[in-house]
Amino acid sequence: MHSVRAALARRFLRRLKRATHRAPAKLIVPRAERVLVVAPHMDDEVIPCGGTLMLLIAGGAEGHVAFATDGSSGVREPSVAASLSAIRREEAGQARDFLGLSETIEFGFPDGRLHAHEPALADSIAEQILRINPNLLFTPFPGDGHADHMACAWATARAAVRCKWSGTILAYEVWTALWPNVAVDITPVAERKAEAIRLYASQVADRDYAAAALGLNSFRGQAHAVPYAEAFHRDDAAGFERLTALLDEF
């Protein structure tokens, strides 16, 4: 399934290029009173957008994170899956406190199987949008090469439109680089972002996600003459729904 979705992501991005290359990325300073991050997995709130999230919270924003999956990483043996979920839940709590988030929410859908639960996921996201009424919403870019990330993008778009939500979406990159139209200078908090990522000890045990994330942020910063930047595709609900609809055309 992951290889199929990766191929779809490449086709999606080729289709999207003509629209996005006309809008060069510009450096912005985001502002919000309430922020909702839709994170497919426990660590997707820090790896792609943790720096921007910290800057927003430092500026007075309420930070809310909704984790879509249960953290079991597709483990079939129930006792092992439960143990892994508990570990990742504890790590997510540490990250919550480190970032200064107001809350984290767990939807509990099976890790690696979000594509089979997209309508229910959209319902869950819509409920949180109506409850929190965020000004700013983070979610994966629809061309991100992971099935769970694509499902989150699709579900977020449908939820936002259904709620007639009028805020700003910042779609982030994790597994596949996107064509950004905005970027945020995270240089002042880059090292704290790395610390936050490393709180997910079970995730970084066999690979250094912190170094990888800051490497991407360093690359993104070069275009704006800053040491570190996070890049996003900024859109409104209607525009983002049109983007995610492309996923159903392949």
Q: Is the pTM of this model over 0.95?
A: no
Tokens of 112: 């690696």
CATH superfamily, region 2-249:
LmbE-like (3.40.50.10320)
- The mean pLDDT values, 10 residues at a time, for the chain of 250 residues are 65 62 78 97 97 98 97 60 82 97 96 93 98 98 94 97 97 94 98 97 89 97 96 96 85
Q: What is the pLDDT of residue 49?
A: 98
- Look at residue 79 in the predicted model and tell me its pLDDT: 58
pLDDT (0 to 100) of residue 83: 81
pLDDT at 5: 64
- How many C-alpha atoms does 162 have within 13 Å on its Cβ side? 16
E-only strand ranges, 40-95? 62-69
Q: Decide if 213 contacts 164 (C-beta within 8 A).
A: no
Report the pLDDT value the prediction gives residue 158, as an integer from 0 to 100.
Answer: 97
Domain ranges of the chain: 2-249
**CA separation (Å) from 77 to 102, 103, 108, 116, 249?**
33, 30, 17, 20, 35
